[in-house]
């Protein structure tokens, strides 16, 4: 029952976020600020993780392909498929649930605890629109971050494969191009946009409706990470079932 | 002027406000006092529109809040300023941006005009050279003053203060009290202050409303407290030796 009422409250929050828009000039400033906080400041960790994930995927694939009848190009093919379909969109989004999600929950939660949200409401400002809407818009840039993650992941895979001595560059590039299905790119970016929306709104929900003090802000951040990850993984399954099966 | 009629508010099965009726006059510092849990904060949050009462009416001058449309309520809120207990300054903005915020949101002033207005109110609350500092970099007393500056920058008709001098040393608390009273007279606004501080009551209380268990148990002026026979009120107000001596001194005409 508690879960159902939470889902209902979440949906009401989404509806209220798009009502009574904040002054456009102010909103633009907030959106650029959020792009900086949520996207640009995540670039470093995403590049770092993507590079090494790509490298490890290649090494694992290469070490498991012991049969001499299996062509080496398959390493490049497997790296591409893993990175494009899952590691970049889903794995990075789960990491972002920790990084961006806890930032959103703790910043909004602290505003709740210190009555800053009440201050906005007393002034007649729709606090949900002021706080959550710019985050949703900023997260529209998120697919670009995932695009970078895909590129860097494949770079990591190439370097680990070629310089690790598992295959040569031409073999990797051939595998990378083999049986390429453009729809997979659509699938990956479609689910990235859905994850971006979840990454902006679920942590905001946990911060906005939290009750208590500083300790509860910490607890809300943890809960927010758990629920954002769970919803991302379930949504990933549903989208995959609908689009690829 | 704010008029409250038969205000009721409950949370679940708990009735917090049980039919409060009173009037807060314009140009006066009106104080709400009462023990913890008496309903002061809930009453104040009803007055500023953060809570919706189940029953009863609130009139802001001649406008009945419950009859106003959503946009009329938003416009009314632009006429309100509020000083929160902890200041509620926006952490991500410096002092100048905090004070400028209501102007940026609700006026068409250009940047230079906004800057002038901000400077004017910061000087009015006796703050200098703090424009670029962030809330975490200034003292509690300064934060309260910035909060007052933000509340008055858009020239409100109604000023609400939730325990404005809590957590401050006695000297700073008196400075804040006097500042609020001066601004109330200067701008001719209706000020409602929620407080536990008996110093505030005897310093600036022009009308005092005493809440007890969600009821309005007594109302009057600070002078009338000294001669009141309401035992709960006198027990509350004169709980310290110092104020018992104040009462004796008052009754002796000292």
- SS3 helix, strand, coil % of chain B, rounded to 5? 45, 25, 35
Provide the shortest C-alpha distance from residue A238 to chain B (in Å): 39
Lowest mean pLDDT among A97-106, A226-235, B15-24, B217-226: B217-226
The percentage of residues in chain A with a pLDDT greater than 90, rounded to a whole number, is 84
Give the pLDDT confidence of A13-71 residue by residue, as tens digits: 999 999 989 989 899 999 999 999 999 999 999 999 999 999 999 999 999 887 888 88
Chain A interface, Cβ < 8 Å to B? 20, 22-23, 25-26, 110-111, 114-116, 118-119, 121-125
Give the pLDDT confidence of B183-214 residue by residue, as tens digits: 899 889 999 999 988 888 888 889 999 999 99
pLDDT at B164: 87
Q: Running DSSP on this structure, what letter comes out for residue B57?
A: E
Q: What is the mean pLDDT of chain B?
A: 89
* Chain A contact for B90 (CB, 8 A cutoff): yes
Two tokens, residue A55: 């490298």
- Could you tell me if B4 and B21 are in contact, meaning their C-beta atoms sit under 8 angstroms apart? yes
CB contact under 8 A, B105 and A125: yes
pLDDT at B247: 67
- Domain-wise residue ranges, chain A: 23-244
CB contact under 8 A, A116 and B105: no
CB contact under 8 A, B89 and A116: yes
H-run or E-run covering B229: none
- Could you tell me if B184 and B25 are in contact, meaning their C-beta atoms sit under 8 angstroms apart? no
Rounded CA-CA distance A65/A161 in Å is 13
* Chain A contact for B141 (CB, 8 A cutoff): no
B1-79+158-222: which CATH topology? Rossmann fold (3.40.50)
For chains A and B, CB pairs below 8 A equal 52
- How far out from the chain centre does Cα A65 lie? 31
Instruction: Centre a 10 Å sphere on the Cβ of residue A182 and count the other Cβ atoms it contains.
Output: 7
**What is the side-by-side strand order in the sheet with B14-24?**
B14-24, B2-11, B55-60, B63-64
Nearest by Cα to B33 from B182, B174, B189, B162: B162
Task: Identify the closest residue of chain B to A23 by CA–CA distance.
Answer: B105
Residue A1 has pLDDT above 60, yes or no: no
- Residue that is written with structure tokens 């508690």 in the block: A2
Listed in sequence order, the residues at least 6 apart from A28 whose beta carbon sits closer than 8 Å to its beta carbon are none
* Chain A contact for B80 (CB, 8 A cutoff): yes
pLDDT at B101: 94
Mean pLDDT in residue range A234-245? 94
CB contact under 8 A, B84 and A121: no
Q: Running DSSP on this structure, what letter comes out for residue A242?
A: H
Two tokens, residue B84: 């929160």
- Burial-class residue A198 by CB neighbours within 10 Å (0-12, 13-18, 19+): buried
- Burial-class residue A64 by CB neighbours within 10 Å (0-12, 13-18, 19+): exposed
Provide the shortest C-alpha distance from residue A118 to chain B (in Å): 7
- Assign B54 to helix, strand or coil: coil
Rounded CA-CA distance B170/B151 in Å is 23
Mean pLDDT in residue range B122-147? 90
CB contact under 8 A, A122 and B80: yes
- Residue that is written with structure tokens 């309005």 in the block: B216
CB contact under 8 A, B85 and A118: no
* B34 beta partners: B211
Selecting from B48, B82, B88 the residue whose C-beta is nearest the C-beta of A114 gives: B88
Rounded CA-CA distance A211/B213 in Å is 24
Give the pLDDT confidence of B64-101 residue by residue, as tens digits: 998 999 889 888 988 999 999 888 999 999 999 999 99
pLDDT at B254: 65
Give the pLDDT confidence of A120-150 residue by residue, as tens digits: 999 989 999 999 999 999 999 999 999 999 9
Nearest by Cα to A156 from A68, A88, A66, A65: A88
pLDDT at B78: 87
Selecting from A23, A26, A119 the residue whose C-beta is nearest the C-beta of B84 gives: A119
Rg (CA), chain A: 21
* Chain A contact for B114 (CB, 8 A cutoff): no
Count of residues in chain B = 254
Q: Give the strand pairing for B2-11 and B190-194.
A: unpaired
Residues in A closer than 8 angstroms to B91, CB to CB, are 110-111, 114, 116
CB contact under 8 A, A124 and B88: no
Two tokens, residue A123: 């002034």
Residues in B closer than 8 angstroms to A123, CB to CB, are 77-78, 80, 101-102, 105-106
Residues in B closer than 8 angstroms to A112, CB to CB, are none
* Chain A contact for B50 (CB, 8 A cutoff): yes
- Helices assigned H by DSSP within A114-213: 116-122, 127-131, 133-138, 142-163, 169-177, 182-208
- Could you tell me if B5 and B17 are in contact, meaning their C-beta atoms sit under 8 angstroms apart? no
What are the two backbone dihedrals, phi and then psi, of residue B160, each rounded to the nearest 5 degrees? -115, 135
- Could you tell me if B6 and B14 are in contact, meaning their C-beta atoms sit under 8 angstroms apart? no
Mean pLDDT in residue range A69-96? 92
């Amino acid at each position: 029952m508690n879960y159902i009422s939470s889902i209902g409250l979440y949906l009401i929050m989404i509806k209220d976020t798009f009502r009574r828009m904040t002054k456009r000039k102010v909103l633009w400033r907030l959106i650029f600020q959020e792009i900086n906080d949520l996207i640009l400041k995540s670039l470093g960790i995403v590049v770092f993780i993507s590079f090494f994930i790509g490298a490890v995927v290649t090494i694992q694939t290469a070490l498991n392909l012991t049969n001499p009848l299996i062509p080496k190009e398959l390493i490049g093919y497997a790296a591409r498929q893993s990175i494009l379909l899952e590691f970049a969109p889903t794995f990075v989004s789960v990491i972002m649930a920790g990084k961006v999600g806890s930032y959103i929950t703790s910043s909004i939660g602290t505003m709740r605890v210190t009555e800053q949200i009440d201050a906005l409401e007393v002034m007649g400002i729709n606090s949900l629109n002021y706080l959550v809407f710019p985050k949703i818009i900023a997260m529209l840039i998120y697919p670009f971050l995932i695009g970078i993650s895909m590129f860097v992941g494949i770079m990591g895979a190439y370097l680990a494969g070629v310089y690790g001595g598992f295959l040569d560059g031409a073999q990797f590039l051939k595998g990378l191009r083999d049986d390429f299905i453009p729809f997979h790119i659509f699938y990956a970016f479609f689910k990235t946009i859905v994850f971006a929306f979840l990454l902006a709104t679920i942590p905001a929900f946990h911060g906005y409706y939290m009750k208590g003090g500083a300790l509860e802000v910490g607890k809300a951040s943890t809960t927010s990470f758990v629920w954002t990850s769970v919803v991302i993984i379930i949504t990933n399954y549903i989208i995959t079932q609908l689009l690829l099966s | 002027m704010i008029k409250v009629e038969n205000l009721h508010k409950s949370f679940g099965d708990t009735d917090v406000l049980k039919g409060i009726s009173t009037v807060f006059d314009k140009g006066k510092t009106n104080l709400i006092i009462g023990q913890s849990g008496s309903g002061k904060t809930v009453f104040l949050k009803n007055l500023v529109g953060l809570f919706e009462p189940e029953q009863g009416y609130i009139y802001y001058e001649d406008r009945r809040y419950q009859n106003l449309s959503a946009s009329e309520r938003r416009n009314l809120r632009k006429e309100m300023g509020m000083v929160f207990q902890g200041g509620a300054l926006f952490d991500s903005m410096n002092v100048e941006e905090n004070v400028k915020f209501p102007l940026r949101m609700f006026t068409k002033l250009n940047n230079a005009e906004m800057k002038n207005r901000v400077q004017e109110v910061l000087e009015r609350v006796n703050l200098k050279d703090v424009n670029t500092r962030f809330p975490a970099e200034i003292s509690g007393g300064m934060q309260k003053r910035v909060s007052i500056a933000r509340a008055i920058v858009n020239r409100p008709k109604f000023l609400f203060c939730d325990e404005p001098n809590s957590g401050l040393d006695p000297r700073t608390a008196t400075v804040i009290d006097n500042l609020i009273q001066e601004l109330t007279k200067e701008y001719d606004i209706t000020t409602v202050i929620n407080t536990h501080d008996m110093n505030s009551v005897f310093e600036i209380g022009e009308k005092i409303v005493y809440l007890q268990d969600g009821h309005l148990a007594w109302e009057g002026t600070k002078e009338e407290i000294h001669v009141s026979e309401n035992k709960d009120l006198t027990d509350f107000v004169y709980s310290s030796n110092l104020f018992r001596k104040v009462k004796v001194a008052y009754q002796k005409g000292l």
